[in-house]
Amino acid sequence: MKSTEPPFASKLPTDGSGPRVALGVTGCIAAYKAIEVLRGLQKLGASVQVVMTRHATEFVGPLTFQAISGAAVITDMFAATDDPEIKHIQLAGSINLLLVAPATANALAKFAAGIADDFLSTLYISTSAPVLVAPAMNAEMWLHAATRDNVARLKARGVEFIDPSDGYLACRTVGPGRLAEPADIVHRAWEIARLSTGVGLTGQAGDLAGEHVLISAGPTYEAIDPVRGLTNRSSGRMGYALAEAAAGRGARVTLISGPVALTPPRLVDIINVRSAAEMYSAVMDRLDTATMVIMAAAVADFRPVTTADQKIKKAGDGGLTLELERTEDILAAVGRSKSGRIVVGFAAETENVLDNARKKLLEKNADLIVSNDVSRADAGFDVDTNRVALVTGARVEELPVLSKRDVADRILDAAMKVKPRQASHLAGQPD
């Protein structure tokens, strides 16, 4: 089983300044796995208040969660207390995330219908904090039309899901419905909670306040005809992770995105584009107000000189010859107009990785180049992890394999270190 403790855990807040999470546990056999979720969140520095439904207590005793969390477990909506505050309202207003793991079909139905007949369902309808749900149930229940409808309704309201996996279920069948791995639940919960609090990888809450971060992400698409085009394998995940991280640390964020299948991060102004020319115009139109530019998009280097108005038909056994021309070099254009802003570029390479990154740093007049070997299975396109080197004029920092969200924080940390040097340079002082 994967560990829920990442290699950077020692750098995260453990003094109560971390995110505040309400962990809802509902009644199914997977309730015992919520103990691992609780422990994983605590290792990352989160404060966790456990809320159990009555049926959940039939599977795991509240005392187990209390012993691990160090706080009394809430199981009763109307339990007597010395606290004069209305408990569900107090908790609803103080948390950074409501995580429900496991969530039964019954819990999803109540959330979708707005039924508030116990503490957890009342907490759900009372809080404005983000909500993350990890369902667990029999495969037929998960696939039932009523459950699918409830999931769709909740997603439309902004509830995030970690869908169950396929596996051997308690009912002795195999299919979708098995609770996602606790480590995966912890990882996603931490990302959302950290964004809500504005705490970065190194615990720098709000350190980007006052910055306008302009980020490009995803591929571009250069049309050949109405149905064909030239593009690349970029998923946009790295750029979207950067946008989420920057927003979570207090920045105003503008995300200029090529065509991707991703949900935009919260608190981000998104501009959708398609071609390199459109991305160039969108970046340059918004450059004046940006204090930091991060060019994470995989922009096509070439496009067809002409685009056919109609679909090109096959003619006999002959081939097709395309005449290509260079697209706009957006990073170079930003570097030429750098002024006092921080400029970060990416170098996706398959050979001579660091040498090419250093060359790009100079040629594009950038402050930082994020270099990675995209031929690696853990750092290429369309994966959740990345392994990069942060290249500046002064040093090279090679990072281990991390999630793209954690790499995003490291990139922002490195970019902010550039700022004092820039400020002293602009003032005519030695670096």
241 with 261, same domain? yes
| 157 and 229 assigned to the same domain | no
Written as six digits, the tokens of 4 are 């829920």
Round to whole Å and give the CA distance between 139 and 178: 8
Q: For 28-63, how does the pLDDT look when each residue is reduced to its tens digit (9 = 90+)? A: 999 999 999 999 999 888 899 999 999 999 999 999
User: 122-149: buried (b, 16+ CB within 10 Å) or exposed (e) per residue?
Assistant: bbbebbebbbbbbbbbbbebbeeeebee
Residue 346 lies in a domain: yes
Q: Which of 169, 196, 223 is the last residue of a domain?
A: 196
What domain range includes position 412?
203-306+321-426
Confidence of residue 430 (pLDDT cuts 50, 70, 90): very low
pLDDT for the residue numbered 167: 64
| Shared domain check, 168 and 242 | no
Residue 64, CA distances (Å) to 2, 38, 61, 240, 354 in order: 22, 11, 6, 38, 50
- Average pLDDT over the chain, rounded to an integer: 85
316 falls within a domain: no
Higher pLDDT, 44 or 284: 284
244 and 128 within one domain: no
The whole-number pLDDT of residue 6 equals 39
- The pLDDT, as a whole number, for residue 333 is 96
C-alpha to C-alpha distance for 372 and 90, rounded to whole angstroms: 46
Quick check: is 314 in a domain? no
| pLDDT (0 to 100) of residue 348 | 84
Flag whether 400 is in a domain: yes
In angstroms and rounded to an integer, the radius of gyration of the C-alpha atoms of the chain is: 24
The pair phi, psi for residue 66, each rounded to 5°, is -65, -40
- Any idea which of 21-35, 191-205, 265-279 has the lowest mean pLDDT? 191-205
Q: Are residues 220 and 188 in the same domain?
A: no
Closest listed residue to residue 52, CA positions, set 145, 337, 38, 43? 38
Q: Compute the residue count for the chain.
A: 431
Task: Return the SS3 of 290.
Answer: coil
Pair 186, 40: CB distance under 8 Å: yes
Which of 1-15, 72-86, 187-201 shows the lowest per-residue confidence on average (mean pLDDT)?
1-15
Per the CB < 8 A criterion, the answer to whether 103 and 131 are in contact is no
Q: 272: pLDDT confidence band, cut at 50, 70 and 90?
A: very high
**pLDDT at residue 200 tops 90:** no
Residues 406, 191: Cα–Cα separation, whole Å: 9
Torsion angle, CA of 89/55/137/114, rounded to 10 degrees?
A: -30
CB atoms within 10 A of CB 398: 11
403 and 350 housed in the same domain: yes
Average pLDDT, integer, range 231-238: 92
**Residue 13, pLDDT score:** 39
Whether 1 is covered by a domain: the verdict is: no
pLDDT in tens, 86-114: 566 789 888 999 999 999 999 999 999 99
Task: Mark whether 192 and 207 lie in a shared domain.
Answer: no
Counting the structural domains of the chain, the total is 2
Closest CA to 296 of 327, 263, 334, 351: 334
Distance of alpha carbon 218 from alpha carbon 221, whole angstroms: 10
Residues 368-384 pLDDT 10s: 999 988 777 766 666 77
Residues 217 and 188 placed together within one structural domain of the fold: no
Instruction: Give the pair of three-digit tokens for residue 276.
Output: 């390199």
In a domain, 431, yes or no: no
Distance CA 136, CA 114 (A): 20
Asked, for residue 3, whether it belongs to a domain, the answer is no
Q: In sequence order, what are the beta bridge partners of 160?
A: 132
Q: What is the mean pLDDT of residues 187-194?
A: 82
Beta strands 160-161; 302-304: pairing state: unpaired
Tens digits of residue pLDDT in 143-152: 999 999 999 9
Q: Are residues 36 and 59 in the same domain?
A: yes
Q: What percent of the chain has pLDDT over 70?
A: 85
Name the pLDDT band for 350 (thresholds 50, 70, 90): confident
Could you give the residue numbers annotated as active site? 171
Instruction: In whole angstroms, give the CA distance from residue 163 to residue 172.
Output: 20
pLDDT of residue 380: 65
Q: Are residues 113 and 242 in the same domain?
A: no
Highest average pLDDT, of 125-134, 173-182, 313-322, comes from 125-134
User: Where is pLDDT greater, at 320 or 341?
Assistant: 341
Q: What's the pLDDT at 202?
A: 45
* CA gap 374, 234 in Å, rounded: 10
Residues 151 and 248 in one domain: no
Higher pLDDT, 405 or 121: 121
Average of per-residue pLDDT across 69-97: 77
Asked whether 372 and 379 are in contact (CB, 8 A), the reply is yes
CA dihedral 325, 330, 335, 337 (to 10 degrees): 100
Task: Say what the pLDDT of residue 192 is.
Answer: 82
Q: What is the pTM of this model?
A: 0.60
**What does the block give as tokens for 94?**
């103080």
Amino acid identity at 30: A
pLDDT of residue 90: 81
pLDDT band, very low/low/confident/very high, at 427 (cuts 50, 70, 90): very low
Helix (H, G, I), strand (E, B) or coil at 228: coil
Q: Is the pLDDT of residue 169 over 60?
A: no
User: In angstroms, rounded to a whole number, what is the distance separating the alpha carbons of residues 298 and 431?
Assistant: 32
3 state DSSP class of 136: coil
Same domain membership, residue 248 and residue 352: yes
Q: What is the mean pLDDT of residues 319-336?
A: 94
Domain final position from 148, 173, 196: 196
Is residue 90 within 8 A of residue 59, CB to CB? The reply is: no
Q: At 143, which CATH number?
A: 3.40.50.1950
The whole-number pLDDT of residue 267 equals 80
User: Tell me, what CATH number does 376's domain have?
Assistant: 3.40.50.10300
Cα torsion at 116, 117, 123, 128 (round to 10°)? Answer: 0
Q: Which of 142, 162, 196 is the last residue of a domain?
A: 196
According to the model, what pLDDT value does residue 140 have? 87
Segment 215-235 shows an average pLDDT of: 94
